[in-house]
A and B are shown apart, each in its own frame.
Chain A
């Protein structure tokens, strides 16, 4: 039956690279698909929790995409939501225990938002839209891509909020003391929750200004 063997697709074919790159801009989970906002905004007052959160989400999306993709032919369609929730919840428990063991301070700062990765719409959305219909390797790339797209926005928001709100980046003081002596002040408003929303609004504005296709007609 050797005639049936098709030429294997290379691991990083153009199609697969697209899976990885598209979520960074054109189909970004936060600014375009509007998924996963819930947990995205609350953890972005500082850079460190935002990075930890992004890594956790990348891990959970990638692994649960692979698991569901492997199981996809064995899952009865009627109970697929429950199966997906169980897989995601298991991954999130793993992440939570690892965070508690190795970076306890950050885990305390993230508080309930680690648990809320379970109901993060990005993960359910990608499982439903992609992993249920595709092979494990593309699903893995799709998971990584969407996780990265989410992480990218998180890091940008956290960078702006920490720089303007606390004058530091990743805990290091960036704005020199002379500035403060000259009368410069940190903008305390940036650390407060509502500013995260406004920063996202501005990011969407900038992105749509350069990518005209995304503009809503309304």
Chain B
């Protein structure tokens, strides 16, 4: 239980998707102009990461991992399909995003109207595929660990995008040198936020 909690905290603060690995930077820079839209996108990322990482964990555990097909038949014990993981993960992510979009639209129209436009964007967000690939690389032991990693990474991404959006809303009133305006200053602020987040590195978990 404690291990699961540790993974959760670690993936929010220490291994933050944006500040430590730069994943999902494209949508991070494009959609962080106002706090309102960035909350929508951030929530959608938490949602999708919380679903795709556990699903990809099961896929990796029972189909792709070396020797994973053992449950089918003993003679498959040394089959290694891990070279297929990129294409399988991206297929799962694309179809899960589609599925989530349909389910949300059917059961919660209010949630759909706030998340809806962002969901298709997310299929090609590097943070989602990155989450699955990190899950595979770090070899989490159980479904619960993979889920808490997925949710934690999503929450970390959410914090980062909402933070930068709030700063960008204010910095509009400052006198930034002309060539730095817009993109340039956003990069530098993100770097400074990253340095601030590095203070979490000292936490022993």
CA distance A112 to B123 in the complex (A): 17
* A116 with B184: CB separation less than 8 A: no
Interchain nearest-CB distance for B118 vs A (Å):
15
CA distance A216 to B187 in the complex (A): 14
Binding site for B on A (CB under 8 A): 31, 34-42, 81-82, 85-86, 89-90, 92-93, 96-97, 111-112, 115-116, 118-121, 124, 189, 192-198, 200-202, 204-209, 215-218
The prevalent SS among residues of B at the interface is helix
* B86 with A82: CB separation less than 8 A: no
Contact A111 to B126, CB < 8 A, known contacts A35-B26, A215-B178: no
* B184 with A205: CB separation less than 8 A: yes
Q: Which residues on B sit within 8 Å (CB–CB) of A36? A: 26
Within B1-58, the residues touching A (CB, 8 Å) are 19-26, 29-30
Binding site for A on B (CB under 8 A): 19-26, 29-30, 83-87, 89-91, 94, 123-130, 133-134, 137, 172, 177-188, 190-195, 198
Contact A197 to B178, CB < 8 A, known contacts A116-B130, A118-B90, A119-B126: no
* B181 with A116: CB separation less than 8 A: no
CA distance A93 to B198 in the complex (A): 33
The prevalent SS among residues of A at the interface is helix
Q: What are 24 inter-chain pairs, A to B, with CB distance below 8 A?
A: A34-B29, A34-B30, A37-B25, A38-B127, A42-B22, A81-B123, A85-B94, A89-B86, A92-B86, A119-B90, A119-B125, A120-B126, A193-B20, A193-B22, A194-B19, A194-B194, A195-B191, A197-B190, A200-B187, A201-B187, A204-B187, A205-B179, A217-B181, A218-B172
Interchain nearest-CB distance for A94 vs B (Å):
10
13 further contact pairs, Cβ within 8 A, besides A96-B83, A194-B190: A37-B26, A38-B25, A89-B87, A93-B84, A118-B129, A121-B26, A193-B22, A194-B193, A196-B22, A197-B190, A204-B179, A207-B179, A208-B180
